[in-house]
Amino acid sequence: MKFLEAIVDFLERNIKTLFYYPGEQVLPLCEEVENSKINNILAGDERGAGFMAEGYARITNYIGVAISSTPGAGNLVTPALNAYKDNSSILLITGRNYKKYRGENYFQEIDMNFLNIYKGYFDPKYEDFVKAFYECLYSRRPIHINISLDCYDKEVEVRDYIKYKYNYNFNIDIESRKPLLLIGQGIYGLMPYKDIIKINKILKSVQIPISTTFPARGVISENSDNCIGLVGRRGDIKSLLEADKIINIGSSLSYNTYVESVRNELLKKTININFYPNDIKEVKELFNNISLDNLWFEKELYFTPKGDYSKKIYTLISSLPDDAIIVNDAGKHTVFTCLLKKCYLPKSLIASHSFGCMGFSLPTAIGVKLACLDYGIDREVVSINGDGSFIMNLQELKVISENNLKILIVIFENHKLGRFKTINNPNFVKIAESFNIDAYKTENYEEIEDVVKGYLRGNKPLLLSIKTEDEDLPTPNR
């Protein structure tokens, strides 16, 4: 079999959808993919393709794949950095000209190592391509594969790759009067979405207070009696300080979770459990082995909205179903949404947690939506944007329109780039309409509710622009 057929055959067996933007050096690959069973989504640009792959990877806890031309590869750097910081499995495939032009000033001939943010493969053999795929999945990092035009016609031997399996020691013997469980997204391990949502039930019966990091929010329902909810920079600190032992399962203990002022104190009483489950049975087994029993904590009160911006975000969130998947961008709207949304299921709030990257929401929401369709995940997808963030992604409206993706696109128009700068906006309603997407602008609370309710009854995308006054953010824990 030829290398090109072999890799597309491998992808066909292992993924359902990929995201791409074509170009000369990846044309053979793009054409082969088009003739395969893989659903291939033409993004507005390569940055969009990268974020779509990230959204797809995030919701499925699997892998997202993006293909880019040589000049477009620079546009993939931002999603690659984001995936690196947020631990997302995205596989980035780029092309390169024939080897004979290496070192020559030939059209589009350039070294592509700049995209090896975590790791890169250059002109891989078939087995290296497969290895890179699994490495991407297991490492939760972006992996770049750069393929020269010479490679495609090479004859290769197709062999099955043996999947890696983690083994654990489940014996957890901890003495504690005031134990606290801290759960990070590592608890998802290699489990598919359908297993991830089952963790909730297991955790509900654990008789210790449970806190989560931002990306793990909703792994236990935030209305459970044993759930403290989010801890750290934008969450609770008190319970972390009061606990005598913190049992960490799956958190990288970033400065977002253990903020600087109390970091050393918390690290001293933290016990790290090395756990990366393959399936839900392992999660059950782990928690059967935690025999602590003491629900000692008091629930902290949530943030209450005071100004126009946060009240409008609250109105929006209250109008949505509890299980809606909200994909945030970066700015004030992100913080207000984080403080006001209660997460009852995993992946209820998807954001650029560790990178705070503007332009994240809309393409990521597209990836999330396509994964929901592929895997039968029946949850509404909502993209929340600031006016500054949204304008970075106008071209992706085309993807939503062409694929008729039911996504609620919300823009909060405070005419400001957060605390940085005042801005003027175009008419977002007209822009959406020019892409054949229904759109509505309002500044009225009841209207937000009505429009959202109407949207939920339908089966089409909608852009809702909400005019709001500006509002200062509450001070974070530092």
Query: Of Mg ion, ligand TPP, none, which one sits near residue 71, judging by CB under 5 to 8 A according to partner kind?
Result: none
Residue 333 binding partner per list Mg ion, ligand TPP, none, with a CB distance cut-off of 5 to 8 Å that depends on partner kind:
ligand TPP
CA proximity to 325, closest of 362, 369, 283, 289: 369
Which two three-digit tokens encode residue 93? 């495939």
Helices 46-60 and 77-86, packing angle to 10 deg: 20
Cβ-based nearer residue to ligand TPP, 60 or 310 = 310
Range list of β-strands (E), 31-139 = 39-42, 64-68, 90-96, 119-122
79 contacts Mg ion (rule: CB under 5 A):
no
Interaction between residue 387 and ligand TPP (CB under 6 A): yes
Binding mask 355-384 for ligand TPP (x = CB under 6 A): -xxxx-------------------------
Among 416, 432, 468, 471, binds Mg ion (CB under 5 A): 416
Is residue 243 within the footprint of ligand TPP (CB under 6 A)? Answer: no
Q: Which amino acid is at 135?
A: E
Which residues lie across from 146 on neighbouring strands?
94, 122
With CB under 6 A as the contact rule, the residue among 213, 257, 337, 414 that binds ligand TPP is 414
- Other C-beta atoms within 10 Å of 174: how many? 13
Q: Who contacts 440 (Cβ-Cβ below 8 Å, separation ≥6)?
A: 429, 451, 462, 463, 464, 465
β-bridge pairing 119-122 and 90-96: unpaired
Cβ at position 332, least distance to ligand TPP in Å: 4
The residue written with tokens 């074509």 in the block is 22
Nearer to ligand TPP (CB atom), residue 17 or residue 352: 352
Q: Which tokens belong to 377?
A: 């995940």
Cβ of residue 309: shortest distance to ligand TPP, in angstroms?
A: 7
Dihedral pair phi/psi, residue 395, rounded to 5°: -60, -25
Kindly tell me which residue out of 387, 409, 435, 463 binds Mg ion, with binding defined by CB under 5 A.
387
| Straight-line distance from the first to the last Cα atom of the chain, in angstroms, rounded to the nearest whole number | 57
Name the residue type at position 343.
C
Q: Compare residues 46 and 329 and give the one whose CB is closer to ligand TPP.
A: 329
Q: Does 389 bind ligand TPP (CB under 6 A)?
A: yes
Options 318-326, 378-386, 399-407, 455-463: segment touching Mg ion (CB under 5 A): 378-386
Contacting positions for ligand TPP (CB under 6 A): 329-333, 356-359, 386-389, 412, 414, 416-418, 420
Contacting positions for Mg ion (CB under 5 A): 386-388, 414, 416
